[in-house]
């Protein structure tokens, strides 16, 4: 009888030990599973923050450079505690249309990934482009004259007295810290342009610029008359003067060491003109034109101009001229039936950072998926 009781007790003890062992193993497995789940959740949260950092970093880069191209390899953020795994993000940048961009940022921590998407707007504005007119000369002896009332439509600034019709006014929205925006040498040349195709002597035939080179340098004058020249971002330089007349000219930069004269019956589109003393004569139609003049500028009668005009000295706008965009000059003369209208959204081939600010706004964002 005693032996039977001892055997039963041993059996119960063994069974109890097995039960305790099984319970312990279950608890250990449950704990390990919970710990693994918690660890995955932590890494997923860390990946989210890494993806968010990628969005913010990309927006900052776009503000410095609207043409920013993100790296092809993941960017390391660092170790985001708890744990000792490095957090990284990978950026893909899509251009949807115009000024709208879409950013896709994937944060990575260990095997966990979290992808965020954001849509934003990148545009240039502010600075000199916040006004229709900036007349920066600071002198009580300087006087800008506007023959007709309502010739200036939109915000404008005079750092000196100005006469509108018969009334002389003091400076308006004065800011003496604003002057002529000095641009670097060769500001109009894109990075990696390379050496030019050199032409010695005066050029009369516009077909010489249709040979496919991205960059031409003419050691002499350029006379382009009675024809059409449509290019795609080509740079043309002249050591002398440039004359454009009775033709259609599109899609290039013309840089002259001396003056540029645009004569009658000429259409200009998506051009950059830079030189010293630029004149647009009658019956010129200019769309999306950027002028940077280190001398004086004259716009004669019957000219329609849309774009940005910057001249270091005086600007004379004669009768029946319509300007839409932004104008920067030392002093100004506007004659009868001429208007300067501020237009905020101007599309020109190039807007140097020195004359504007890059405005980046985040329009919407959300998550795409998590892993």
Q: Do 316 and 234 belong together in one domain? A: yes
In which band, very low, low, confident or very high, does the pLDDT at 32 lie, cut at 50, 70 and 90? very low
Q: Do 308 and 236 belong together in one domain? A: yes
Output 170 or 16, whichever has higher pLDDT: 170
Report d(CA 321, CA 127) in Å as an integer: 25
Where do we find the tokens 């002389």? 168
**Which helix H or strand E contains 339, and what residues bound it?**
strand 339-342
Average pLDDT, the chain: 85
Question: What does the pLDDT look like over 86-96, one tens digit per residue?
Answer: 888 888 888 75
Full-model pTM: 0.70
Q: Give the structural domain span for 40.
A: 2-119+361-370
Answer whether residue 37 shows pLDDT above 50.
no
Output 143 or 121, whichever has higher pLDDT: 143
Residue pair 358/211 in contact (Cβ under 8 Å)? The answer is no
In which band, very low, low, confident or very high, does the pLDDT at 196 lie, cut at 50, 70 and 90? very high
Query: 270-300 burial by CB neighbour count: b if 16+ within 10 A, else e?
Result: bbbbbbbbbbbbbbbbbbbbbbbbbebbbbb
User: Which residues sit opposite 144 in a β-bridge?
Assistant: 162
| DSSP states along 230-256 | EEEEEEEEESS-EEEEEEEEEEEEEEE
Least confident of 123-127, 139-143, 275-279, 342-346: 123-127
Q: Do 221 and 157 belong together in one domain? A: yes
Q: Do 90 and 152 belong together in one domain? A: no
Answer whether residue 17 shows pLDDT above 70.
no
Structure token digits, residue 332: 């100004």
Q: Do 34 and 136 belong together in one domain? A: no
Q: Do 115 and 132 belong together in one domain? A: no
Structure token digits, residue 341: 């209208």
Domains held by the chain: number: 2
Q: Do 66 and 132 belong together in one domain? A: no
Q: Do 45 and 152 belong together in one domain? A: no
Sheet with 112-125, strands from edge to edge, namely 75-79, 86-97, 100-109, 112-125, 357-370
Contacts 24+ apart (CB under 8 A), 169-172: none
Question: What does the pLDDT look like over 101-139, one tens digit per residue?
Answer: 888 889 888 888 888 888 887 776 678 888 999 999 998
């Amino acid at each position: 009888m005693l032996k039977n009781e001892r055997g039963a007790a041993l059996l119960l003890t063994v069974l109890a030990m097995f039960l305790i062992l099984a319970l312990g193993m279950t608890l250990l497995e449950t704990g390990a599973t919970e710990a693994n789940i918690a660890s995955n959740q932590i890494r997923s949260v860390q990946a989210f923050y890494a993806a968010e950092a990628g969005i913010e970093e990309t927006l900052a880069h776009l503000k410095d450079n609207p043409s920013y191209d993100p790296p092809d390899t993941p960017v390391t953020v660092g170790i985001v505690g708890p744990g000792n795994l490095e957090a990284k993000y990978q950026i893909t940048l899509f251009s949807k249309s115009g000024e709208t961009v879409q950013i896709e940022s994937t944060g990575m921590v260990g095997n966990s990934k979290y992808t965020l998407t954001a849509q934003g707007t990148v545009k240039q504005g502010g600075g000199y482009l916040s006004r229709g007119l900036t007349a920066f000369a600071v002198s009580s002896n300087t006087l800008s004259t506007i023959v007709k009332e309502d010739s200036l439509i939109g915000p404008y600034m005079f750092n000196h007295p100005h006469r509108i019709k018969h009334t002389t006014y003091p400076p308006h929205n004065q800011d003496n810290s604003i002057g002529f925006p000095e641009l670097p040498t060769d500001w109009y040349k894109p990075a990696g342009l390379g050496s030019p195709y050199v032409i010695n002597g005066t050029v009369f035939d516009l077909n010489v610029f249709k040979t496919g080179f991205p960059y031409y340098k003419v050691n002499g004058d350029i006379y382009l008359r009675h024809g059409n020249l449509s290019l795609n971002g080509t740079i043309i330089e002249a050591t002398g003067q440039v004359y454009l007349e009775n033709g259609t000219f599109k899609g290039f930069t013309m840089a002259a060491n001396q003056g540029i004269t645009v004569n009658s019956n000429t259409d200009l589109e998506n051009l950059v003109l830079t030189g010293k003393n630029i004149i647009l004569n009658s019956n010129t139609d200019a769309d999306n034109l950027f002028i940077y003049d280190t001398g004086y500028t004259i716009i004669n009668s019957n000219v329609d101009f849309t774009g940005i005009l910057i001249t270091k000295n005086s600007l004379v706008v004669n009768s029946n001229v319509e300007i839409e965009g932004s104008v920067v000059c030392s002093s100004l003369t506007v004659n009868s039936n001429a208007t300067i209208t501020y237009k905020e959204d101007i599309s020109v081939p190039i807007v140097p950072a020195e004359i504007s600010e890059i405005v980046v706004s985040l329009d919407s964002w959300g998550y795409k998926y998590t892993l």
